[in-house]
Each structure stands twice: as C-alpha cells, then as structure tokens.
Structure 1
C-alpha cells in the first residue's frame, strides 16, 4: 500500500492557507492561486451562453425559423 502514502502523509498547511486568505484583501472569489483563470473562463462561458440565448429569443420573437 505504499502507493497510497502520498495521499495521507502530506504536510498540514491549513494555518498558512488560513493566514493567506484572511490577510488578502482581494474579493473572496479572486483570492485563490488560479482564480483569475477560473473566473475568466466562467465569465467567457457565461457571456457566450447569454449571447446565444438572446440571439435565439430574438429569432423567436422576430419569427425567423431556423432551417
């Protein structure tokens, strides 16, 4: 079972992470190490979905049928 050792014998970094998050004054959703990447991807996907939805609703209102 030595291949599972890295899963349960890891250093405890909870206090360091807690100090980092509590001393950082950025918005909570931007405090993590890769949060800019995650937030940017979320915003891009959300914007794409909203544009597609508005386009489809506009076609339904204007009675343009997709063929």
Structure 2
C-alpha cells in the first residue's frame, strides 16, 4: 500500500485548532481591490471555520481521516 500524501496547498491554507475544528481565511482579498468597498474588504479580513458541507473534503486533503 502506498503512503498517503497530504495535499500541499491544503497544509499551507488550513489550520487545525486546538478543539479539532479547521480554520480558513476568506477569499477574494488578493487583487482587484480598488473596485471593492471598504466595508466589503473589512469583512473579508480575519478567519472563519470551514463549513460542514466542505469539512470532509478538507479533512481528506489534510489526511485527517
């Protein structure tokens, strides 16, 4: 049986918290920011948790299952 490899981008993108939940950062904050309002950019700051719909996919990429 071959080794199970972690998805390289996923290990740089997601962090596992102490309670076992997975933290992610918001998208759409990298470029083309001049057309976005200050309120929209402010709400894109910070982090949030991975939703339940995507949790199994992210866990599989991180080899947590």
TM over 0.5: no
Q: Which has the higher contact order (CA 8 A, sep 6+)?
A: 2
Per the normalisation by structure 1, the TM-score is 0.24
Per the normalisation by structure 2, the TM-score is 0.24
**Higher strand residue share:** 2
**Higher helix residue share:** 1
